[in-house]
Amino acid sequence: MALLPERTPVIVALNKIDAVKDKRALLPRIGDIAALRDFAALVPISAGRGSDLPALMRAIALHLPEGPALYDDDEVTDRDERFLVIGWHTVDGYLAWAAFQDLPQNAPKDIVNGYKWELYKLDDDPTQYEDVSAKYPQKVEEMKKLFMAEAAKYNVLPLDNRSLSRFVEPRPSASGGRTVFTYTGELANTPKGGAPSFLDRSYTITAAVEIPQGGAEGMLATDGGRFGGIGFYLLKGKPVFVYNYLNLERFRWEGKEALPPGTHTVVFDFDYDGIGFGLGGKGTLKVDGKVVDAKRIPKTLKFMFPEDETFDVGVDTRTPIDDRDYQVPFRFTGKLVKLTVEEGPIKGTLAQILEFKWKTRD
Protein backbone atom coordinates (compact mmCIF):
# COMPACT_ATOMS: atom_id res chain seq x y z
CA MET A 1 0.00 0.00 0.00
CA ALA A 2 2.83 2.39 0.87
CA LEU A 3 4.32 1.88 -2.61
CA LEU A 4 1.29 3.40 -4.34
CA PRO A 5 1.41 7.12 -5.17
CA GLU A 6 -1.15 9.18 -3.31
CA ARG A 7 -2.81 10.18 -6.58
CA THR A 8 -3.55 6.54 -7.43
CA PRO A 9 -7.21 5.81 -6.63
CA VAL A 10 -7.58 2.72 -4.41
CA ILE A 11 -10.87 0.92 -3.96
CA VAL A 12 -11.38 -1.47 -1.06
CA ALA A 13 -13.75 -4.42 -1.52
CA LEU A 14 -14.80 -5.87 1.84
CA ASN A 15 -15.72 -9.43 0.93
CA LYS A 16 -17.78 -12.12 2.76
CA ILE A 17 -20.12 -9.65 4.43
CA ASP A 18 -22.80 -12.39 4.26
CA ALA A 19 -20.86 -14.15 7.03
CA VAL A 20 -21.48 -11.22 9.39
CA LYS A 21 -24.96 -11.39 10.89
CA ASP A 22 -24.88 -8.00 12.59
CA LYS A 23 -23.69 -5.59 9.90
CA ARG A 24 -23.10 -2.93 12.53
CA ALA A 25 -20.10 -4.99 13.63
CA LEU A 26 -18.45 -4.03 10.32
CA LEU A 27 -18.34 -0.33 11.15
CA PRO A 28 -15.28 -0.37 13.45
CA ARG A 29 -13.37 -2.48 10.91
CA ILE A 30 -14.32 -0.14 8.06
CA GLY A 31 -13.16 2.78 10.19
CA ASP A 32 -9.78 1.12 10.78
CA ILE A 33 -9.32 0.52 7.05
CA ALA A 34 -10.42 4.04 6.11
CA ALA A 35 -7.76 5.45 8.43
CA LEU A 36 -4.97 3.83 6.38
CA ARG A 37 -5.26 6.31 3.49
CA ASP A 38 -7.75 8.35 1.48
CA PHE A 39 -9.53 5.55 -0.41
CA ALA A 40 -11.57 6.25 -3.52
CA ALA A 41 -14.30 3.94 -2.21
CA LEU A 42 -14.99 1.21 0.37
CA VAL A 43 -17.55 -1.27 -0.91
CA PRO A 44 -18.86 -4.19 1.22
CA ILE A 45 -19.62 -7.17 -1.04
CA SER A 46 -20.32 -10.89 -1.06
CA ALA A 47 -18.57 -12.36 -4.07
CA GLY A 48 -20.09 -15.80 -3.47
CA ARG A 49 -23.67 -14.50 -3.47
CA GLY A 50 -23.10 -11.62 -5.85
CA SER A 51 -24.28 -9.05 -3.31
CA ASP A 52 -23.41 -5.42 -4.12
CA LEU A 53 -21.13 -6.36 -7.01
CA PRO A 54 -22.80 -3.74 -9.27
CA ALA A 55 -21.82 -1.08 -6.73
CA LEU A 56 -18.22 -2.28 -6.88
CA MET A 57 -18.25 -2.21 -10.69
CA ARG A 58 -19.64 1.34 -10.67
CA ALA A 59 -16.91 2.46 -8.29
CA ILE A 60 -14.23 0.90 -10.51
CA ALA A 61 -15.70 2.38 -13.71
CA LEU A 62 -15.83 5.82 -12.12
CA HIS A 63 -12.07 5.83 -11.55
CA LEU A 64 -10.84 4.16 -14.74
CA PRO A 65 -8.62 6.46 -16.85
CA GLU A 66 -9.99 7.60 -20.18
CA GLY A 67 -8.63 5.83 -23.22
CA PRO A 68 -9.49 3.56 -26.12
CA ALA A 69 -10.17 -0.14 -25.65
CA LEU A 70 -6.94 -1.87 -26.59
CA TYR A 71 -7.84 -5.48 -25.79
CA ASP A 72 -10.65 -7.92 -26.33
CA ASP A 73 -13.16 -8.37 -23.53
CA ASP A 74 -11.45 -11.55 -22.34
CA GLU A 75 -8.05 -9.86 -22.01
CA VAL A 76 -7.03 -7.66 -19.10
CA THR A 77 -4.22 -5.14 -18.73
CA ASP A 78 -3.37 -2.26 -16.45
CA ARG A 79 -1.31 -0.53 -19.14
CA ASP A 80 -2.60 1.80 -21.85
CA GLU A 81 -0.92 2.57 -25.15
CA ARG A 82 1.19 5.40 -23.73
CA PHE A 83 3.10 2.76 -21.80
CA LEU A 84 4.36 1.34 -25.10
CA VAL A 85 5.61 4.63 -26.57
CA ILE A 86 8.98 6.30 -25.89
CA GLY A 87 8.76 10.08 -26.26
CA TRP A 88 5.68 12.27 -26.55
CA HIS A 89 3.53 13.20 -29.50
CA THR A 90 0.26 14.92 -30.29
CA VAL A 91 -1.62 14.78 -33.57
CA ASP A 92 -3.85 17.51 -35.00
CA GLY A 93 -2.87 17.56 -38.66
CA TYR A 94 0.61 18.03 -37.27
CA LEU A 95 2.85 15.86 -35.16
CA ALA A 96 5.04 17.41 -32.48
CA TRP A 97 7.42 15.49 -30.32
CA ALA A 98 10.51 15.83 -28.14
CA ALA A 99 13.24 13.21 -28.10
CA PHE A 100 14.85 13.15 -24.67
CA GLN A 101 18.24 11.94 -23.46
CA ASP A 102 18.39 9.74 -20.42
CA LEU A 103 21.82 10.63 -19.04
CA PRO A 104 21.27 12.47 -15.72
CA GLN A 105 23.77 15.21 -16.57
CA ASN A 106 21.82 16.06 -19.76
CA ALA A 107 18.29 15.84 -18.40
CA PRO A 108 16.60 19.27 -18.03
CA LYS A 109 14.42 19.97 -15.01
CA ASP A 110 11.68 21.42 -17.23
CA ILE A 111 10.60 18.29 -19.08
CA VAL A 112 8.21 20.03 -21.47
CA ASN A 113 10.23 23.12 -22.42
CA GLY A 114 13.74 21.87 -21.75
CA TYR A 115 13.96 19.68 -24.85
CA LYS A 116 13.99 20.59 -28.52
CA TRP A 117 10.58 19.92 -30.00
CA GLU A 118 10.23 18.89 -33.64
CA LEU A 119 7.17 19.60 -35.76
CA TYR A 120 5.95 17.76 -38.85
CA LYS A 121 3.01 18.59 -41.10
CA LEU A 122 1.64 15.13 -41.70
CA ASP A 123 -0.60 15.95 -44.68
CA ASP A 124 2.41 17.16 -46.68
CA ASP A 125 5.11 15.09 -44.99
CA PRO A 126 3.74 11.73 -43.79
CA THR A 127 7.26 10.26 -43.47
CA GLN A 128 8.24 13.05 -41.04
CA TYR A 129 11.28 14.07 -43.06
CA GLU A 130 11.18 17.87 -42.72
CA ASP A 131 11.18 19.46 -39.27
CA VAL A 132 9.18 22.70 -39.59
CA SER A 133 9.37 23.76 -35.93
CA ALA A 134 11.55 26.79 -36.77
CA LYS A 135 9.06 27.88 -39.43
CA TYR A 136 5.98 27.55 -37.19
CA PRO A 137 7.07 28.27 -33.58
CA GLN A 138 3.53 29.30 -32.60
CA LYS A 139 2.24 25.93 -33.76
CA VAL A 140 4.83 24.20 -31.59
CA GLU A 141 3.63 26.12 -28.54
CA GLU A 142 0.02 25.28 -29.42
CA MET A 143 0.90 21.59 -29.66
CA LYS A 144 2.71 21.71 -26.32
CA LYS A 145 -0.40 23.11 -24.67
CA LEU A 146 -2.53 20.47 -26.39
CA PHE A 147 -0.20 17.76 -25.14
CA MET A 148 -0.36 19.02 -21.55
CA ALA A 149 -4.15 19.17 -21.69
CA GLU A 150 -4.34 15.59 -22.97
CA ALA A 151 -1.72 14.45 -20.43
CA ALA A 152 -3.85 15.82 -17.60
CA LYS A 153 -7.00 14.28 -19.07
CA TYR A 154 -5.48 10.81 -19.38
CA ASN A 155 -3.69 10.84 -16.00
CA VAL A 156 -0.15 10.96 -17.46
CA LEU A 157 1.11 13.66 -15.09
CA PRO A 158 3.56 14.03 -13.48
CA LEU A 159 5.93 13.46 -16.40
CA ASP A 160 9.10 11.46 -15.87
CA ASN A 161 11.94 11.75 -18.39
CA ARG A 162 14.00 8.86 -17.08
CA SER A 163 14.17 5.62 -19.06
CA LEU A 164 17.29 3.53 -18.36
CA SER A 165 17.46 4.56 -14.71
CA ARG A 166 13.77 3.71 -14.24
CA PHE A 167 14.28 0.41 -16.01
CA VAL A 168 17.03 -0.71 -13.65
CA GLU A 169 15.45 0.63 -10.45
CA PRO A 170 14.45 -2.15 -8.03
CA ARG A 171 10.77 -2.97 -8.34
CA PRO A 172 8.43 -4.23 -5.63
CA SER A 173 9.21 -7.93 -5.42
CA ALA A 174 7.16 -10.96 -4.50
CA SER A 175 10.22 -12.24 -2.66
CA GLY A 176 9.64 -9.55 -0.02
CA GLY A 177 13.30 -8.66 0.56
CA ARG A 178 14.29 -12.29 1.11
CA THR A 179 17.99 -13.08 0.68
CA VAL A 180 17.85 -16.85 1.22
CA PHE A 181 15.76 -19.02 -1.13
CA THR A 182 15.26 -22.73 -0.47
CA TYR A 183 13.76 -25.22 -2.94
CA THR A 184 12.99 -28.93 -2.66
CA GLY A 185 12.46 -30.67 -5.95
CA GLU A 186 11.67 -29.30 -9.38
CA LEU A 187 10.30 -25.79 -9.87
CA ALA A 188 10.07 -24.09 -13.26
CA ASN A 189 9.16 -20.71 -14.76
CA THR A 190 9.67 -18.53 -11.69
CA PRO A 191 9.55 -14.89 -12.89
CA LYS A 192 12.18 -12.33 -11.96
CA GLY A 193 10.04 -10.72 -9.25
CA GLY A 194 9.83 -13.93 -7.24
CA ALA A 195 13.30 -15.35 -7.83
CA PRO A 196 16.77 -14.72 -6.41
CA SER A 197 18.94 -12.18 -8.20
CA PHE A 198 22.39 -12.99 -9.59
CA LEU A 199 23.09 -9.47 -10.82
CA ASP A 200 25.70 -7.07 -9.44
CA ARG A 201 26.19 -8.98 -6.19
CA SER A 202 27.80 -11.97 -4.55
CA TYR A 203 25.81 -15.20 -4.26
CA THR A 204 26.09 -18.83 -3.24
CA ILE A 205 24.13 -21.76 -4.69
CA THR A 206 24.15 -24.96 -2.63
CA ALA A 207 22.61 -28.19 -3.96
CA ALA A 208 22.15 -31.31 -1.83
CA VAL A 209 21.75 -34.24 -4.22
CA GLU A 210 21.40 -38.02 -4.17
CA ILE A 211 23.09 -39.82 -7.05
CA PRO A 212 21.65 -43.25 -7.96
CA GLN A 213 23.55 -46.27 -9.22
CA GLY A 214 24.62 -45.54 -12.79
CA GLY A 215 25.08 -41.79 -12.14
CA ALA A 216 22.95 -38.76 -12.86
CA GLU A 217 22.96 -35.52 -14.80
CA GLY A 218 20.69 -32.57 -15.42
CA MET A 219 19.95 -29.03 -14.35
CA LEU A 220 20.21 -27.98 -10.72
CA ALA A 221 19.42 -24.27 -11.15
CA THR A 222 19.38 -21.78 -14.00
CA ASP A 223 18.38 -18.21 -14.69
CA GLY A 224 18.62 -17.06 -18.29
CA GLY A 225 19.36 -18.98 -21.44
CA ARG A 226 21.06 -18.88 -24.82
CA PHE A 227 21.53 -15.11 -24.82
CA GLY A 228 22.73 -14.63 -21.26
CA GLY A 229 22.46 -15.97 -17.74
CA ILE A 230 23.76 -18.70 -15.45
CA GLY A 231 23.43 -22.47 -15.34
CA PHE A 232 24.44 -24.91 -12.58
CA TYR A 233 24.17 -28.57 -13.57
CA LEU A 234 25.68 -32.02 -13.75
CA LEU A 235 26.95 -33.06 -17.18
CA LYS A 236 27.67 -36.78 -17.46
CA GLY A 237 27.87 -36.71 -13.69
CA LYS A 238 30.41 -33.87 -13.49
CA PRO A 239 29.40 -30.58 -11.79
CA VAL A 240 29.41 -27.58 -14.14
CA PHE A 241 28.67 -23.89 -13.70
CA VAL A 242 28.43 -21.67 -16.79
CA TYR A 243 28.12 -17.88 -16.91
CA ASN A 244 26.80 -16.96 -20.35
CA TYR A 245 27.80 -13.43 -21.31
CA LEU A 246 25.32 -12.42 -24.04
CA ASN A 247 26.10 -15.52 -26.12
CA LEU A 248 29.42 -13.81 -26.92
CA GLU A 249 31.51 -15.47 -24.26
CA ARG A 250 30.96 -18.22 -21.71
CA PHE A 251 32.87 -18.57 -18.47
CA ARG A 252 32.98 -22.16 -17.22
CA TRP A 253 33.77 -23.99 -14.00
CA GLU A 254 33.83 -27.79 -14.13
CA GLY A 255 34.79 -30.71 -11.90
CA LYS A 256 37.07 -33.37 -13.33
CA GLU A 257 35.24 -36.38 -11.90
CA ALA A 258 31.64 -37.56 -12.02
CA LEU A 259 29.83 -37.74 -8.70
CA PRO A 260 29.66 -41.36 -7.48
CA PRO A 261 26.40 -42.86 -6.15
CA GLY A 262 25.35 -41.47 -2.80
CA THR A 263 24.61 -38.15 -1.14
CA HIS A 264 26.65 -35.08 -2.10
CA THR A 265 26.68 -31.32 -1.61
CA VAL A 266 27.63 -29.23 -4.63
CA VAL A 267 28.29 -25.52 -4.14
CA PHE A 268 29.01 -22.60 -6.43
CA ASP A 269 30.12 -19.41 -4.70
CA PHE A 270 30.59 -16.12 -6.53
CA ASP A 271 32.39 -13.20 -4.87
CA TYR A 272 31.50 -9.99 -6.73
CA ASP A 273 34.07 -7.22 -7.20
CA GLY A 274 33.47 -3.70 -5.88
CA ILE A 275 30.58 -1.31 -6.46
CA GLY A 276 28.96 -0.94 -9.85
CA PHE A 277 27.21 -2.70 -12.69
CA GLY A 278 28.67 -5.57 -14.70
CA LEU A 279 31.86 -6.06 -12.72
CA GLY A 280 33.71 -9.35 -12.51
CA GLY A 281 34.47 -11.56 -9.56
CA LYS A 282 35.79 -14.89 -8.38
CA GLY A 283 33.79 -18.08 -8.76
CA THR A 284 34.51 -21.23 -6.75
CA LEU A 285 33.01 -24.66 -7.42
CA LYS A 286 33.03 -27.16 -4.54
CA VAL A 287 31.98 -30.77 -4.09
CA ASP A 288 31.51 -32.04 -0.53
CA GLY A 289 33.57 -29.13 0.81
CA LYS A 290 36.48 -29.63 -1.61
CA VAL A 291 37.33 -27.01 -4.24
CA VAL A 292 37.26 -28.61 -7.69
CA ASP A 293 37.57 -25.44 -9.80
CA ALA A 294 38.09 -21.73 -9.15
CA LYS A 295 38.74 -18.76 -11.40
CA ARG A 296 38.13 -15.05 -11.77
CA ILE A 297 36.10 -13.54 -14.56
CA PRO A 298 36.49 -9.92 -15.77
CA LYS A 299 32.83 -9.03 -16.26
CA THR A 300 29.21 -10.00 -15.70
CA LEU A 301 25.94 -8.91 -17.26
CA LYS A 302 24.79 -5.37 -16.48
CA PHE A 303 21.29 -4.57 -15.31
CA MET A 304 19.36 -7.69 -16.31
CA PHE A 305 19.18 -11.23 -17.63
CA PRO A 306 17.00 -11.88 -20.70
CA GLU A 307 13.42 -10.94 -19.87
CA ASP A 308 11.95 -13.89 -21.79
CA GLU A 309 13.77 -16.41 -19.57
CA THR A 310 12.87 -17.51 -16.05
CA PHE A 311 14.46 -19.04 -12.98
CA ASP A 312 14.25 -22.86 -12.95
CA VAL A 313 15.23 -25.52 -10.42
CA GLY A 314 15.78 -29.14 -11.42
CA VAL A 315 14.89 -28.45 -15.07
CA ASP A 316 15.60 -25.91 -17.80
CA THR A 317 12.78 -24.36 -19.80
CA ARG A 318 12.93 -22.16 -22.92
CA THR A 319 16.60 -22.12 -24.14
CA PRO A 320 19.82 -23.76 -22.88
CA ILE A 321 22.66 -21.84 -21.25
CA ASP A 322 25.04 -23.74 -23.56
CA ASP A 323 23.68 -25.68 -26.57
CA ARG A 324 26.89 -27.66 -26.77
CA ASP A 325 26.21 -29.25 -23.38
CA TYR A 326 22.51 -30.09 -23.46
CA GLN A 327 19.06 -29.32 -24.80
CA VAL A 328 16.01 -28.44 -22.75
CA PRO A 329 14.31 -29.60 -20.57
CA PHE A 330 17.44 -31.36 -19.21
CA ARG A 331 15.68 -32.60 -16.08
CA PHE A 332 17.86 -33.72 -13.22
CA THR A 333 17.91 -37.52 -13.17
CA GLY A 334 19.06 -37.86 -9.57
CA LYS A 335 17.20 -36.62 -6.50
CA LEU A 336 17.46 -32.93 -5.69
CA VAL A 337 17.02 -33.03 -1.91
CA LYS A 338 17.38 -29.30 -1.42
CA LEU A 339 18.71 -26.30 -3.30
CA THR A 340 19.50 -23.04 -1.51
CA VAL A 341 20.43 -19.68 -3.00
CA GLU A 342 21.95 -17.07 -0.72
CA GLU A 343 22.25 -13.64 -2.31
CA GLY A 344 24.38 -10.81 -0.99
CA PRO A 345 23.38 -7.15 -1.16
CA ILE A 346 24.22 -4.82 -4.00
CA LYS A 347 27.23 -2.98 -2.66
CA GLY A 348 25.85 0.55 -2.39
CA THR A 349 22.64 2.39 -3.10
CA LEU A 350 21.44 2.84 -6.66
CA ALA A 351 22.62 6.47 -6.57
CA GLN A 352 26.08 5.40 -5.38
CA ILE A 353 26.31 2.76 -8.09
CA LEU A 354 25.30 5.23 -10.82
CA GLU A 355 27.82 7.75 -9.49
CA PHE A 356 30.53 5.09 -9.39
CA LYS A 357 29.84 4.08 -12.99
CA TRP A 358 29.89 7.71 -14.14
CA LYS A 359 33.19 8.49 -12.41
CA THR A 360 34.88 5.34 -13.71
CA ARG A 361 33.58 5.55 -17.29
CA ASP A 362 36.01 5.19 -20.19
H or E element that contains 32: helix 26-34
Residue of higher predicted confidence among 218 and 21 = 218
Confidence band of 84 (pLDDT split at 50, 70, 90): very low
Cα distances from 97 to residues 103, 148, 326, in angstroms, run 19, 12, 48
Rounded to an integer, the average pLDDT of 128-142 is 91
Specify the number of domains making up the chain: 3
Instruction: Give me the pLDDT at residue 76, please.
Output: 54
pLDDT value at 73 more than 80: no
pTM to 2 decimal places? 0.60
Contacts of 7 (CB under 8 A, 6+ apart): none
Residues 246 and 194 in one domain: yes
CATH number of 109's domain: 3.30.1120
Asked if residue 301 is part of any domain, the answer here is yes
Asked if residue 71 is part of any domain, the answer here is no
Asked if residue 5 is part of any domain, the answer here is no
Q: How many CB atoms lie within 10 A of CB 89?
A: 14
User: Taking a C-beta distance cutoff of 8 angstroms, is the pair 232, 268 a contact?
Assistant: yes
Range of weakest confidence among 66-75, 83-92, 250-259: 83-92
Rounded to an integer, the average pLDDT of 209-233 is 97
Residues 139 and 18 in one domain: no
Residues 199 and 344 in one domain: yes
Per-residue HEC secondary structure of 113-155 comes to CCCCEEEEECCCCCCCCCCCCCCCHHHHHHHHHHHHHHHHHCC
pLDDT value at 199 more than 80: yes
Residues 161 and 45 in one domain: no
Residues 136 and 187 in one domain: no
Confidence band of 167 (pLDDT split at 50, 70, 90): low
Residue of higher predicted confidence among 320 and 102 = 320
Residue of higher predicted confidence among 172 and 331 = 331
Instruction: Give me the pLDDT at residue 83, please.
Output: 43
226 DSSP 8-state letter: T
Residue of higher predicted confidence among 359 and 316 = 316
Asked if residue 238 is part of any domain, the answer here is yes
> Domain span at residue 117?
82-167
Residues 89 and 148 in one domain: yes
Asked if residue 2 is part of any domain, the answer here is no
Q: How many CB atoms lie within 10 A of CB 71?
A: 9
